[in-house]
Structure 1
Amino acid sequence: MTALANRYDIVFLFDVKNGNPNGDPDAGNLPRIDPETSHGLVSDVSLKRKIRNYTELARGAEAGYRIYVQEGSILNERHREAYKAERPGDDTVEKAPKLNPRNDDEAKALTRFMCENFFDVRTFGAVMSTGINAGQVRGPVQVAFASSVEKILPLEISITRMAATNEKEKAAREKDAGDDRTENRTMGRKHIVPYGLYRAHIFVNAKLAERTGFSDADLKHLFASLKAMFEHDRSAARGEMATRRVVAFKHASALGNAPAHQLFERVKVQRKVGDDLYDVDSAKLDNYPPARAYSDYQVSVDLNGLPDGVEVVEL
């Protein structure tokens, strides 16, 4: 497949309702939050995981769309596949605990094998030098942290259950029957964000795509993943997450025709209160209830005076 020839800069908007979009393991799985601004965060790793999961569901074991970073997989065994392809008939490859390329040509061939066979290597890049060395790749698609457009206030909710785990717990519950105490029924706690609209920026570098073979077909699949990945990621913690809008700025050249930050500034998110519009950081919003739905926002794209060689693609 021909490598991608155009640079893209993408604004990705998604929301969550009564869920935890990305728990922080360093904070008891609370929703990630910027402590200085109280804006919610979703890590790039979390978003890329969802793209990988969607790819597994949508493309399965289709040639060129296998997933390298997969739950339960042993990465070195992925690297070993490349050595088997480059050294057919070499029995030492099968069980060797460490392998290294014999020369630069083989090193390039090993890395090329990984790019051709694994979508996430070709897309996001990977460091593949863990024991069985298949090199490293800088991917053409880079995903930044997502941040909520307004402050969030995570809630902690206790969860109770009716069943007991053993006879001792059952006896304690019967003893407390009619009592207001709930410690014998509490099984844990959940952390949720009542509502949050998040914004992420994604960069697609066409010059790096030349190195990995990332193609127009791969870009089309990436766009499909962004639109549908939350539909296949439902859980008790993420029951209502949805992609709301994907705005892509397509450049006429591989190197680009305008700085990404200037293009991103053209995508504006404002709060709607009745017939009025307010910037999301306006102090006047303190006098109104918090947003609880996507319909509480208006998203606009300024198309006036677009730089030459840049077009907007709505997905």
Structure 2
Amino acid sequence: MSILSRRHEILFLYDVSMANPNGDPLDENRPRYDEETGRVFVRDARIKRTIRDTLAEMGYNVFIIEERKDNGELKTKEEKVGNLDRDRILDTYIDIRLFGGTFAVKKNPWNWTGPVQFAYGVSLHRVKMLNIKGTTVMPSKEGKKQGTMLDDYRIAYGLIAVYGVANQNAAEHTRMTDEDFEIMLKALWIGHRGGSVLLTGSKIGHTSRLLIDVVHKEGSLDLIGGLHRAVDVVSDKNDEEIRGPEDYKLSLERLAQKILRFKDKVEKIRYIADEELRVEPSIEEAFQGITVEKLEF
């Protein structure tokens, strides 16, 4: 297997319906929300968490994942590393090859910058925030006769865009391969579609809608950048009234203009799209002059 041979830029769109895409534990687990723009955002750590947990479901060894000892306590990083040396860690754990990691155990520190990095995901439109009141069945204190009141914070709907980069130069240090990258793309797509990590009470309602992989030519050190800021939701409805793909069309006009300026650096564009998403112009029409291939997961 060869080390990642080319630079990749990723645009990933998924939507969230009546769910919490990324709660803030220091703010009553409310969705992370930009009050000035009315848009929600999602930390890169949340995206990587979904990928990691999905990789584990797919049968791959993942280091940054919750593991407990027989007594129920969480395993420490030192306990998980054990007697593994640098080479064995990279050989064993796909998430370290993808995202890097810091190890300061046994006075022998290792620090790898991950070849795959994501920017914060941001909704492409203003969202409707919901505060749903409820009660629990069990009382919180002895002697109480009814359950505890609770606040459940969600968004009615949000189409979220995520931008990522796979750096072939950083891949040399973690030994990330072309196969690792393909596996990661699959975990990104199916994880946001049906991975168990998002099949919880507050997370169910995620759906992958569009994944575009811009493959640079061998040797390219260019970066198009900011692909998630070049797509637009076009709708007759007010942003906060949008509740699903049937309420809007996704315009790729600005994205196509942005990528075509780097046409001489791009080898091909690969994509997978959910059939419910209405895209204008189509992928093939938008990127005329660049080889376009469909992904199959």
Shorter-chain TM range is 0.7 to 0.9
Corresponding residue of 1:189: 151
- Please, which runs of 5 or more residues in structure 2 have no aligned partner? 67-73, 273-297
1:250 aligns with 2:215: yes
Q: Using a 3 Å threshold, how does the CA distance of structure 1 residues 161 and 11 change in structure 2: closer, same or farther?
A: same
Corresponding residue pairs, total: 256
Deviation at 1:163, TM superposition (A): 6.2
Larger RCO (CA under 8 A, 6+ residues apart): 1
Q: Which moved more, 1:6-15 or 1:289-298?
A: 289-298
After TM superposition, the structure 1 stretch with the greater mean CA deviation from structure 2, 225-234 or 124-133, is 124-133
Note the 1:157-172 alignment, pairs <5 A. Answer: 157-161=132-136, 168-170=143-145
**What is the 5 A alignment of 1:197-212?**
197-212=159-174
The whole-number CA distance in structure 2 between the counterparts of 1:35 and 1:133 is 44
Q: 1:134 to 1:269 in 2, by over 3 A?
A: same
Q: Supply the distance in 1 between the matched residues of 2:101 and 2:89 (Cα, whole angstroms).
A: 10
For residue 299 of structure 1, the aligned residue among 227, 250, 257 is 250
**CA drift at 1:198:** 0.6
The 1:3–1:162 alpha-carbon spacing in structure 2 relative to 1, beyond 3 Å, is closer
Aligned to 2:235: 272
Identity %: 26
One-letter amino acid matched to 2:41? L
The residue that corresponds to 1:78 in the other structure is: 80
Map of 2:277 onto structure 1: none
Which residue does 2:35 correspond to in 1?
35
Structure 1, unaligned stretches of length 5 or more?
60-64, 83-109, 171-183, 274-284
Q: Secondary structure at the match of 2:213?
A: strand
Quote the offset at 1:160 in angstroms: 2.5
User: Would the alpha carbon gap of residues 167 and 11 (structure 1) be closer, same or farther in structure 2, given more than 3 Å must change?
Assistant: closer
| Aligned-partner Cα distance in 2 for 1:269–1:254 | 31
| Corresponding position: 1:259 with 2:254 | no
TM-score by length of 1: 0.74
Higher deviation after alignment, 217-226 or 158-167: 158-167
Task: Choose from 119, 130, 137 the match for 2:94.
Answer: 119
SS in 2 for 1:226: helix
1:128 pairs with 99, 103, 107, which one? 103
Sort the Cα spacing of 1:79 and 1:130 in 2 relative to 1 into closer, same or farther, 3 A.
same
- The residue identity in structure 2 corresponding to 1:312 is I
- Against the structure 1 CA distance between its residues 79 and 196, is the aligned structure 2 distance closer, same or farther, given a 3 Å change threshold? same
Task: Label 1:266 to 1:126 Cα distance change in 2 as closer, same or farther (>3 A).
Answer: closer
Contact 1:79 1:134 in 2 (8 A): no
Matched, 1:224 2:224: no
Matching of residue 139 in structure 1 with residue 114 in structure 2 = yes
Change (3 A) 1:271 1:129: same
Aligned to 1:97: none
CA deviations on 1:126-174 (whole Å, 9 max, x unpaired) are 111155534111110001110111122321111125666788434xxxx
